[in-house]
Amino acid sequence: MNDADQSVYDGLRRQMFELDPADAGLSGEGQPGGVWGVVYELGLPAATVTVIALADGTTSLYTTGGFGIIGGGAHAAVVVANRKLREAVADQLAAFRPDLGTTPPGPDDLRVRALTTGGRQVVDAAQADLLDGRHPLSDLFFAGHAVISQLREIHQASAGDETGR
């Protein structure tokens, strides 16, 4: 990863953590658990993947490698996956703890931040523990992967449109 990619990635993450939901027209009212947003992050051996899912449907994906997908909220399937991720987070809020930091997850870990009316909450787990579906946070893990899959599908479809496929 070059310095420019890291700078862009860091800036996008910082914007999310500094976002005032009221200024952005977001509120936790009517949202399960008061969750107005989720920052879902996967640590990979060579990169970090960050997914943003907000209550207004805004859905984006950024990586430390400089790849990103924005505008997912314009696609119904992405909005549905976004809502399911926020609901999965709300269902597991008892497992979260108050969050004062912004450190991304380590390699092979999952870190999820719930942006709620009561403040930011965080939970961590090793990805290997989540894969078999028996971990208490497995549903949340798979809901985040569903958002990634939907974003990847729209990205691939738009890339095909651009190349004439």
Strand partners, 118: none
Tell me which residue range forms the domain holding 101.
3-163
In this structure, what token pair is assigned to residue 81? Answer: 């996956």
Q: What is the pLDDT of residues 2-28, one digit of tens each?
A: 777 678 888 889 898 999 888 888 877
E strands, the chain, in order: 35-43, 48-54, 59-63, 68-69, 97-98, 109-116, 119-126
- Structural domains in the chain (count): 1
Residue-wise pLDDT for 83-125, tens only, equals: 999 999 999 999 999 999 999 999 999 999 999 989 999 999 9
